[in-house]
Amino acid sequence: MNLTEPQAGSDVGALKTKAVPNDDGSYAISGQKIFITWGDHDIAENIIHLVLARLPDAPAGSRGVSLFLVPKFLVGEDGSLGERNSLKCIGLEKKIGIHASPTCVMEYDGATGWLIGEANKGLACMFTMMNSARLNVGLEGVAVGEAAYQAAFEYAQERKQGKAPGVDGPAPILHHADVRRTLTTMRARVAAARAICYACGVAADLADAATDEQARHAAKLREDLLTPIAKAWSTDMGVDVASLGLQIHGGMGFMNETLAAQLYRDSRIAPIYEGTNGIQAIDLVGRKLSGTNGESMRLILGDIDATIREARATNEPQLVQIADRLRAGADALREATDWMLAAMKERDQDKALAGATAYLALAGDVIGGHFLTKAAVAARSSDTGTRARNLALAGFFAETALAEAPGRVPGIVEGGQTFLEGSEALFGV
């Protein structure tokens, strides 16, 4: 995907790459794109670039963007590779992490391309891939979080320091309560993010393959709502968990040659990829929440209410306690949702958008807690080890993230208004 240009980051409507019609129905593409992952390499025989560009008579802004297929090598009618197209990598960006992935500055100089879809409808075509990419980036957050947890857990078993009850001599730091709390935080957050991403993928499949229209509609609403949460909450989690993993390693984690340091550096790009997490929050409260008048979130809250009832119906004290925490979290999310819907309907939406990131974080916490609770209930019929692990993770998440949920509502409702009113003093605007 070739979207970003030096003067146009997330504002794709500001791009300047041109597409001039050729006599044979193709187009001559000219312009420069930056941050193109694997923009050029010799691992594949050919590379197909999907390039956003403007036709000569295109309207201004995002409404005038079209999508073009531009191959590295032109392809003959028999499928054979022909001459090289007029495009090249003119530089590799020097990044703080993900050094195994080349990120290219691409230059197109009258390169031959073909229009995909309708003229001036390129963004709609591109978002077919963008939404899939956002889920995949969310899974990057899950993956780096899991890797950071595994590295930290292994190190905590090997590194000996201090005394611990029942251990002769220096004890592995895994025996220290604060280290165990940190590791449990990492593991629970990774599990919650994984569940959110998987649920988003399931909803996407059902939106396409469910047997009746009503089921497809409900699944599509879930997919649309979960996509920005899966992307933003999971990638923020990946950075936080990678940071905690580095903390477990102590001073050794701050050394460049350690895996903990590499994971921390590599994780930081994911909240920026495919629309920054601030943009995901705006998308959540704008298109996905307000655009459905809250229907999509009401569906999710209905799922959460069903999980609460299932957990309470077990009559197991720990599951009942988890259900109570989940109920408080759901009530907080419902209150924040009602306020957000009302605020977005007002003419001045700044105070709603100022709370969007905090709202997404709350939604991720509550929905993640819902899935961990659901897993704990389902594991009652599993072996003792699985049941105990799921219950421990759900219980810990309930007493930390879910317990804090009610206190986060004022920050969503009032926090933005405070700095908006103080904008002149704070920012001179």
Q: Which residues are catalytic?
A: 274
C-alpha 156/C-alpha 103 separation (Å) is 35
Closest CA to 216 of 227, 205, 225, 226: 205
Judging by beta carbons within 10 Å of its beta carbon (0-12, 13-18, 19+), is residue 74 exposed, middle or buried?
A: middle
Radius of gyration of the chain (CA): 25
C-alpha 22/C-alpha 112 separation (Å) is 9
Closest CA to 376 of 294, 317, 295: 317
> CA separation (Å) from 1 to 66, 162, 303?
13, 52, 35
C-alpha 209/C-alpha 211 separation (Å) is 6
Q: Which residue has the tokens 């028999």?
A: 78
Q: Are 314 and 380 in contact (CB under 8 A)?
A: yes
H-assigned helices in 272-408: 277-283, 295-313, 317-345, 350-354, 356-378, 384-397, 403-404
Sign of the C-alpha dihedral, residues 231, 221, 403, 280? positive
Q: Are 406 and 331 in contact (CB under 8 A)?
A: yes
What residue type is 81 in one-letter code?
L
Judging by beta carbons within 10 Å of its beta carbon (0-12, 13-18, 19+), is residue 171 exposed, middle or buried?
A: middle
C-alpha 375/C-alpha 364 separation (Å) is 16
DSSP state of 97: S
φ, ψ (nearest 5 deg) of residue 374:
-60, -40
Tokens of 414: 């009032």
